[in-house]
Chain A
Amino acid sequence: MGTENKELKEWYKDQFVKFEKRLNGHSKSFMQKYRVESLKKFDEFELPNMKNEEWKYTNVRPIFKHNFRPAVLAEKVEVTRQLVDKKLYKQFDCNVMVFVNGQFEPAFSKLDCLPEGVLVDSLEKVLHIIPELVENKITKLSATENSFNALNGAFALDGAFIYVPAGKIVEKPIQVLFLGGSKTDDVLIQPRNLIIAEESAQVSVIANYQPIDSDKYFTNIITEVYAGKNSIIDLYKIQNEGSESYHVEKMDVHQDETSVFSHYSLSFGGSIVRNDVNSTLDGEHIECNLFGLYLGNNDQHVDNHTFIDHAKPNCVSNELYKGILDGKSRGVFNGKVMVREDAQKTLAYQSNKTVLLSDHSRIDTKPQLEIFADDVKCSHGATVGHLDDQAYFYIRSRGVPSDIAKSMLIRAFVSDVFEKIKITELRDQINRLIFEHLQRVEI
């Protein structure tokens, strides 16, 4: 394994040299320094492996056995407007950003009716014109903790940049479509997303990850979110990557006092999927909602790691993750809630429920509560089971056939997460994805 790792590191270091040549003229920018540091860390880090507690149930060796080519160094893939249209979630009015293999495609984007002062653009462009806007936020937030983070940092170039200044409300959601895959190369796509809502700002974002075709590719994302005082951010992530692809995201959220951050993690596609969501509640009266729905079928592996850090008093966190696993799929849930000494009057709820539809599917679930304050209300629970027999009988006893009865039970199981989705027009489309993914009759 040692030499294998070495070869892999050499491959990416090599790619980095080529990448740097492309970036001529920016060698002194803070971003370039960050890239170089990240590459150094990538070289130093041991690749994540199952001996490490954080990766205990998720084997990422298949990802690192493969030499992916950073998409900027690969042949550019052209997509059609029809394809873009097909991949967007519809039936509601929204702003649109489109990225193809990590690169912004302004021609397909629609950002013409944003309130004054709101900046929604490609990170690469913002780095050119107002680097200080990024500089002040980006280095503070996401720490480089493992090889995936380091790899993203080394090649960090583009991604969605969303900046909502104080008091501004973006009424229409911003849908960001990330299309991935190439016929000519196995591409590495590394979006670097940054969402900043300043005091009392409000914004709703849909991150839509999908394949162009059925190619093998690897999406490795870092998303950083800054929720200023009294701001409200809704962030929907709908991960429906190709079945041959790998998908890793680390999201770091920093919340200031009285902010409300809600994340809806809807995970459908991908072969190996790892989602990390970390939120630091760094002020009083903060609300943090983490809702998740993960579906697994065939040989899929879906790992959700969450970390909610209650650093200050009087905050509320709500976490509800539900999964349905069929075929030989495997799920992992690791939800950590930390309540620091200072964080009195914390309310923290966490629940993880999984239904196994086949005898060969499996979930490893690990809720972790670490409480250092005494006046708090915290609860957590994890259940793993099958569809409810009694309910199954009840439905069939009305003349409903077994396949539809099962679909109804699946729908019933996910209904509480489902009803959290505030963009109601999305619900039907998510519903379709659920049943498509499980290859069952839609109800």
Chain B
Amino acid sequence: MIQIKNLHATVDGKKILNGINLEVNKGEVHAIMGPNGSGKSTLANVLAGHEGYEVTDGEVIFNGKDLLEMSPEDRAREGMFLAFQYPIEIPGISNSVFLKTAIDEIRKYKGEEEISAKDFLALIKEKAKILEMDNSLVSRSVNSGFSGGEKKRNEILQMLMLNPALALLDETDSGLDIDALKIVSKGVNVFRSENNGVIMVTHYQRLLDYIVPDFVHVLYKGQIIKSGDKNLALELEEKGYDWLKNGELETA
């Protein structure tokens, strides 16, 4: 579904991504781990089309199309979704207006009809229920005055509503209490299917107990320096990153 080849990116002239290679197929969940500042959010932002980052080399093919040519909105319409590490507050725009606008724009792009108000309400009710979100949160302004955990939950609500082909979850587990972690994981597991893929960035093995990944990758200094299955995460939990960093230096 997505092929990332030799992706290099800079911000303000500073090299952050230094040749990322990654392929995600339908039905797969990939976890990306790595120390602070290694470039995980940068990768997610570059894929979603953030204009603050400059791609200096490499290519990304998404569902057969050149992803890097597309505007952020077109990427979303093609099925890309990024759950932000730090979700943005938009006072004055209600969650429902925001989501209905997004759904309708995506539908319009695909040549489909707008969703009816009735269907929309039924849909948001269904998805909010999975995430045990209160109706009042749904009608409030987007993330405005939400607690950290509520914001993360709201990102997953958006994911469920937009039903993307590829979901990039950037530290969606950070800042969640145990119960919220379970609820959010449930949301992701409900979403997972043979027709979509997930890339999730996390620092904690704990999340992977709830959302079991098919692959685990370690990102360090803008490169994937190790890939493995879910056991790699257990190993990282035990040993930290140092043993890998040294390995990387040796091969360098």
Whether the Cβ atoms of A399 and B93 lie closer than 8 Å is no
Whether the Cβ atoms of B91 and A416 lie closer than 8 Å is yes
Binary contact readout B24-66 vs A (1 if CB under 8 angstroms, 0 otherwise): 0000000000000000000000001111100000000000000
**16 extra interface residue pairs, beta carbon distance < 8 Å, beyond A399-B105, A412-B93:** A390-B88, A391-B88, A391-B90, A393-B48, A393-B50, A393-B51, A394-B84, A394-B90, A397-B48, A397-B80, A398-B158, A399-B162, A404-B105, A408-B93, A408-B98, A411-B93
A397-B92 contact given A404-B101, A408-B98, A415-B141, CB 8 Å threshold: no
A389 part of interface (Cβ distance < 8 Å):
yes
On chain A, the residues within 8 Å of B102 by CB distance are 398-400
User: Which B residue's beta carbon lies closest to that of A388?
Assistant: B88
Cα distance A390–B87 when bound, in Å?
Answer: 10
On chain A, the residues within 8 Å of B221 by CB distance are none
Whether the Cβ atoms of B73 and A400 lie closer than 8 Å is yes
On chain B, the residues within 8 Å of A395 by CB distance are 88, 90, 98
Tell me the residues in window 371-421 of chain A with beta carbons closer than 8 Å to chain B beta carbons. 388-391, 393-402, 404-405, 408-409, 411-412, 414-416, 418-419
Tell me the residues in window 426-443 of chain A with beta carbons closer than 8 Å to chain B beta carbons. 443
Cα distance A59–B141 when bound, in Å?
Answer: 41
User: Which B residue's beta carbon lies closest to that of A431?
Assistant: B92
Contact of B92 among A398, A400, A402, A411 (CB under 8 A): A411
B72 part of interface (Cβ distance < 8 Å):
yes
Contact of A396 among B71, B84, B97 (CB under 8 A): B71
Cα distance A389–B53 when bound, in Å?
Answer: 12
Which size bracket describes the interface of A in this complex? 20 to 34
Cα distance A397–B105 when bound, in Å?
Answer: 12
Whether the Cβ atoms of A412 and B52 lie closer than 8 Å is no
Whether the Cβ atoms of B91 and A389 lie closer than 8 Å is no
Whether the Cβ atoms of A396 and B76 lie closer than 8 Å is yes
Binary contact readout A36-69 vs B (1 if CB under 8 angstroms, 0 otherwise): 0000000000000000000000000000000000
Binary contact readout B82-111 vs A (1 if CB under 8 angstroms, 0 otherwise): 101001101111000111011101100100
Q: Could you list some 15 contacts between A and B, CB below 8 A?
A: A389-B51, A389-B52, A391-B88, A395-B90, A397-B73, A397-B81, A399-B76, A399-B77, A399-B103, A401-B105, A404-B101, A411-B93, A412-B93, A416-B91, A443-B93
B75 part of interface (Cβ distance < 8 Å):
yes
- The secondary-structure label for the interface of chain A is helix
Whether the Cβ atoms of B106 and A399 lie closer than 8 Å is yes
Whether the Cβ atoms of A415 and B50 lie closer than 8 Å is no
Please report A residues at the B interface, Cβ cutoff 8 Å.
Answer: 388-391, 393-402, 404-405, 408-409, 411-412, 414-416, 418-419, 443
Tell me the residues in window 91-137 of chain B with beta carbons closer than 8 Å to chain A beta carbons. 91-93, 97-99, 101-103, 105-106, 109
Cα distance A411–B144 when bound, in Å?
Answer: 13
User: Which B residue's beta carbon lies closest to that of A407?
Assistant: B93
Query: How far, in Å, is A408 (CB) from chain B's closest CB?
Result: 5
Whether the Cβ atoms of B90 and A401 lie closer than 8 Å is no
Whether the Cβ atoms of A393 and B92 lie closer than 8 Å is no
Query: How far, in Å, is A324 (CB) from chain B's closest CB?
Result: 13
Whether the Cβ atoms of A397 and B91 lie closer than 8 Å is no
On chain A, the residues within 8 Å of B72 by CB distance are 393, 396-397
On chain B, the residues within 8 Å of A393 by CB distance are 48-52, 72
8 closest pairs, A vs B, by CB? A415-B92, A399-B76, A398-B102, A396-B72, A394-B88, A415-B91, A399-B106, A396-B73
Query: How far, in Å, is A323 (CB) from chain B's closest CB?
Result: 16
Which of A394, A396, A398, A401 has the most B CB atoms < 10 Å from its CB?
Answer: A398
Whether the Cβ atoms of B106 and A412 lie closer than 8 Å is no
Whether the Cβ atoms of A412 and B105 lie closer than 8 Å is no
On chain B, the residues within 8 Å of A443 by CB distance are 93, 97, 101
Cα distance A419–B94 when bound, in Å?
Answer: 13
User: Which A residue's beta carbon lies closest to that of B164?
Assistant: A399
Contact of B90 among A396, A399, A412 (CB under 8 A): A412
Whether the Cβ atoms of A399 and B73 lie closer than 8 Å is yes
Whether the Cβ atoms of A398 and B75 lie closer than 8 Å is no
User: Which A residue's beta carbon lies closest to that of B50?
Assistant: A393
On chain A, the residues within 8 Å of B91 by CB distance are 412, 415-416
Cα distance A416–B87 when bound, in Å?
Answer: 20
Which of B81, B92, B97, B162 has the most A CB atoms < 10 Å from its CB?
Answer: B92
Cα distance A396–B101 when bound, in Å?
Answer: 11
Cα distance A215–B75 when bound, in Å?
Answer: 48
A402-B73 contact given A394-B84, A397-B49, CB 8 Å threshold: yes
Cα distance A295–B19 when bound, in Å?
Answer: 47
On chain A, the residues within 8 Å of B48 by CB distance are 393, 397
Query: How far, in Å, is B157 (CB) from chain A's closest CB?
Result: 12
Cα distance A419–B99 when bound, in Å?
Answer: 22
Whether the Cβ atoms of B84 and A398 lie closer than 8 Å is no
Query: How far, in Å, is B83 (CB) from chain A's closest CB?
Result: 10
Whether the Cβ atoms of B52 and A399 lie closer than 8 Å is no
Cα distance A412–B66 when bound, in Å?
Answer: 33
On chain B, the residues within 8 Å of A416 by CB distance are 91
